[in-house]
Structures are given as C-alpha cells and as structure tokens.
Amino acid sequence: MGLGKKTIDDQNYCGKKVLVRCDFNVPMKDGVITNENRINAALPTIQKLVNDGAKVILCSHLGKPKNGPEAKFSLAPVAVALSAKLGKTVVFADDDNVVGENAKAAVAAMNNGDVVLLQNTRFRKEETKNLPEFSQDLASLADAYVDDAFGSCHRAHCSTAGVTDYIKDTAVGYLMEKEIKYLGNAVNDPVRPFTAILGGAKVADKLNVISNLLEKVDTLIIGGGMAYTFIKAQGYEVGKSLCDDSKLDYCKEMMAKAQEKGVKLLLPVDTACVENFPDPIDAPVETTVVPVTAIPADMEGCDIGPETMKLFADAVKASKTVVWNGPMGVFENPTLAAGTLAVAKAMAESDATTVIGGGDSAAAVQQMGLGDKMTHISTGGGASLEYLEGKELPGIAVIQNA
C-alpha cells in the first residue's frame, strides 16, 4: 500500500512561502523545555525546505490556553531551541493574534531559506473551532502548506485542516509520512502473523479499537487495567481491581467475535496484586502473584504476572508485525512496571516490524531505554488510537493525493 498522499519530496519549494504545521507541544517547566523530542523530530522536514530555498513559516499549538493568550504558553522558548539546532536565527513573530503586524513584517522581510515561527495557534479561539477567519489569516502568509503534526491530525482545527480550504498546494512532511507508512501500513497491510497488544486502564477508551483490530489481527493481546473487565466477563472475581461492570457484555461480545474470526485473544493468566494502590504512585509496594481465577477479594491486580509475561512474549516472538498501545500495569511504579518491561523487551528482541502507538507506551519504552530498538514510535497518542480504530483523520484527509 502506497502512502496515497503528496509528500514534500514530490516538489522543490525554492522561493515559495511554505506554512508548516509542526507539533511543538513540548513539556515546559518555568519557561524551560524539559524534553526536546518533538522539536528534534521536526528538524528533517524544516531542513529539507530550508535547503530547497523555501521561506519557511512554522506554526504549532502548545498546551491548552483557556482565555486567549497566556505568557506561559508562548512558543518563544521553541524559537530559541530551533535556532540552536538549525544553526540559524529563527525569527519569532510574537503576535497575540498569531497573524498580526509582527508576523506580516517578518514574512515580508524573508529571504529564501529563512525561518519564521508564529505564536501559539491556540492563542486564537477560532483555532479549535476551525473557523474560517483564522484559517484565512494563516493562508494569507503562504503559497504552500505542509502538515507534519501527526499528534494533532485527528483534530479538524484551522492550522491542521481549515487552512487547506485556502491553500491548494499541500503535502505531508517526513514525520507525518513515517506515521502514515508505519502505523497505516502496519494496520491495513501488515506482514503476518500480525499481533496487536492493548493495555491501559479503561476498556471504554478502546471499544472501537478492540472491535476494529479483531477484523485485522491474527492475535490480540489484552493487558493493563482493562484486562480485569474481560476476566470478570469470563466469570471470575477480580477483587478491588479496575473493572467496568457496564462493559461486561461488550467484553463477552468481543470474546465471541474473536472466536468467530479465528483470532487468538490472549488475556492474562496470572496477576501481581497489591493490598493498597501505591501512594505516591512510585512508593515501594509488596506484590502477591495469583492466578486470575483466584484474585483475593481484598486485593487489586496492578500488573501481569510472570506466566502471562511469558505467554505474551512468546506471542510477540512468533509475529512479523506488532502494534502496541497501552501499558500492562502501573508502569510508573518500578515494581509494577515488570509486565510492561517484559513486553517491551520481547518487542525489542523481535525481528518483527514493531510499532508503538504513542501515549503511555511510548513513554514507557523511552523510559526503559528501548526506544531505538523499535521500528517506529508514534508521536501521537490520541491520533494513533483513532488510526487503530480505522478512522480517517481530518488532518491527513485534507492533504492532496499523490
């Protein structure tokens, strides 16, 4: 399956003003960026446009400003970081209304190969409502549009979708291309056997994902807090473990669907239980490992047990494509991270195409130092989940087809 979308390699942008939607939604503390991964990830696309001799106009949101502009959500620190990484001055156009006098003057003064960064797109309330005024303002600055912000492409906002009503020359950047290639192809055109691993706390968050993946996978592994609802649906007691009683019938339906489709559905066979949930979350904790058929009434399952770790790891080793979204337990606690680590290790050691679907799984894999052993780590939590649900993402849909 090809990419289907125009990419920045399909043309030379020399002399063109190119508006690039990046994902600079970086973690900040007291005005200092604490993790620069997202900035680093954007560099290849920016560099290609600079090398072409384009006039590169960058935009992004940061955080969730409530009532218009807030100083703590300014992108000024990002401009400083970008200047250092690109080895050239990135002009920061600091307008509260994003496309104001500073932005217009900065763009007018650009030479080929220059880079300007606009202020936080969410300083304009129209952004999240996808209203045409702001889309038109953004479009007025540029001749071409490049979307490289996968983490925001599941939202139809002005800077991710609306702007393409007014700029017809559109393409995806390298980061977006990689996401569509790995995440899209892994799900829609996988090399088999194809295994998906779902974890995390709630079944409710992954209803459509479970159902969609059962249409596509050979094996579906379910761990994390959501597994206890499935275990209860099998007729076992789960003690104080996380459980969504309103979803028991749904879990039964999904187990039946798996059987009907000939999909292997793997659930935990043993679990590491604690008497009380750790407080703070990383506090030392005593665990008792029990079979899932015998969880004590006064205990809570917080991780998969050793038998399950082996079961899941063996399934990973027998696969050619593995997609993983959601941890196997309370991975923020060193004792209760064992299951998540076991799955991450099995993926790191496997020859399969391994794709991590953003969010907590991405954080866990990076934290465990296994990030470079994976084929692809998605930059978008919510976006990658919606991709796994089989939804068309608005920020991808609006880009010209190849």
Report pLDDT digits (tens) over 25-54. Answer: 999 998 899 989 899 999 999 999 999 999
Percentage, residues of the chain above pLDDT 70: 99
Q: What pLDDT is attached to residue 221?
A: 98
Tokens representing 161 are 């979708």
Q: Please give the annotated binding residues for (2R)-3-phosphoglycerate, written as ranges.
A: 38, 122, 155
Cβ 146 vs Cβ 370: under 8 Å: no
Q: Higher-confidence residue: 75 or 362?
A: 75
**Which entry of 38, 48, 232, 240 is annotated as an active-site residue?**
38
pTM, entire model:
0.86
382 as an active site residue: the answer is yes
Q: Higher-confidence residue: 372 or 187?
A: 372
Q: What pLDDT is attached to residue 347?
A: 97
Cβ 154 vs Cβ 386: under 8 Å: yes
**Is 322's pLDDT higher than 90?**
yes
**Is 363's pLDDT higher than 80?**
yes
**Which entry of 359, 380, 381, 395 is annotated as an active-site residue?**
359
Nearest to 340 by CA among 319, 321, 359, 318: 359
Q: What pLDDT is attached to residue 4?
A: 86
Give the mean model confidence (pLDDT) for residues 114-123.
Answer: 98
Parallel, antiparallel, or unpaired for β 270-274 and 17-21? unpaired
**Is 128's pLDDT higher than 50?**
yes
Q: Please give the annotated binding residues for substrate, written as ranges.
A: 23-25, 38, 61-64, 122, 155
Please tell me the chain's helix, strand, coil percentages from 3-state DSSP, rounded to the nearest 5: 40, 15, 40
**Is 10's pLDDT higher than 80?**
yes
- DSSP letters along 234-288, please? TT---TTS---GGGHHHHHHHHHHHHHHT-EEE--SEEEEESS--SSTTS----E
**Which entry of 104, 202, 310, 317 is annotated as an active-site residue?**
202
Q: Cα(201)–Cα(281) distance, rounded to whole angstroms? A: 15
124 as an active site residue: the answer is no
Residue ranges with strand state E in 191-245: 194-198, 219-222
Cβ 258 vs Cβ 196: under 8 Å: no
**Is 333's pLDDT higher than 50?**
yes
**Which entry of 184, 371, 382, 390 is annotated as an active-site residue?**
382
Cβ 242 vs Cβ 201: under 8 Å: yes
Q: CB neighbours of 25 closer than 8 A, spacing ≥ 6? A: 38, 60, 61, 62, 63, 151, 152
Enclosing H/E stretch for 146:
strand 144-147
**Is 1's pLDDT higher than 50?**
no
16-46 burial: b if 16+ Cβ within 10 Å, else e: bbbbbbbbbbbebeeeebeebebbebbbebb
Res. 329 pLDDT band, cuts 50 70 90: very high
21 as an active site residue: the answer is no
Q: CB neighbours of 198 closer than 8 A, spacing ≥ 6? A: 206, 209, 210, 213, 220, 221, 222, 223, 224, 226, 325, 326
**Is 235's pLDDT higher than 50?**
yes
Q: CB neighbours of 347 closer than 8 A, spacing ≥ 6? A: 316, 322, 324, 354, 356, 370, 373, 374
Q: Cα(258)–Cα(240) distance, rounded to whole angstroms? A: 27
**Is 102's pLDDT higher than 70?**
yes
pLDDT in tens, 336-357: 999 999 999 999 999 999 999 8
Handedness of CA 317, 369, 341, 263 (dihedral sign): negative
Q: SS3 of 198, please? A: strand
- Domains delineated in the chain: 8-175 (3.40.50.1260), 182-388 (3.40.50.1260)
* Greatest C-alpha distance within the chain: 71
Beta-ladder partners of 90: 115
Q: What pLDDT is attached to residue 367?
A: 87
Res. 380 pLDDT band, cuts 50 70 90: confident
Give the mean model confidence (pLDDT) for residues 240-245.
Answer: 96
Q: What single DSSP character describes residue 180?
A: I
Tokens representing 108 are 């007018």
pLDDT in tens, 42-95: 999 999 999 999 999 999 999 999 888 999 999 999 999 999 999 999 999 999
**Is 361's pLDDT higher than 70?**
yes
Q: Higher-confidence residue: 151 or 260?
A: 260
Question: Among 122-136, 201-215, 272-286, 296-310, which is the least confidently predicted range?
Answer: 201-215
- Cα dihedral 340, 219, 305, 199 in deg (nearest 10): 40
216 as an active site residue: the answer is no
Q: CB neighbours of 104 closer than 8 A, spacing ≥ 6? A: 141
Q: What is the mean pLDDT of the chain?
A: 95
Res. 2 pLDDT band, cuts 50 70 90: low
Q: What pLDDT is attached to residue 3?
A: 67
Residue 40 has φ and ψ, to the nearest 5°, of -60, -40
The vertex-200 CA angle with 25 and 362, nearest 5°, equals: 40
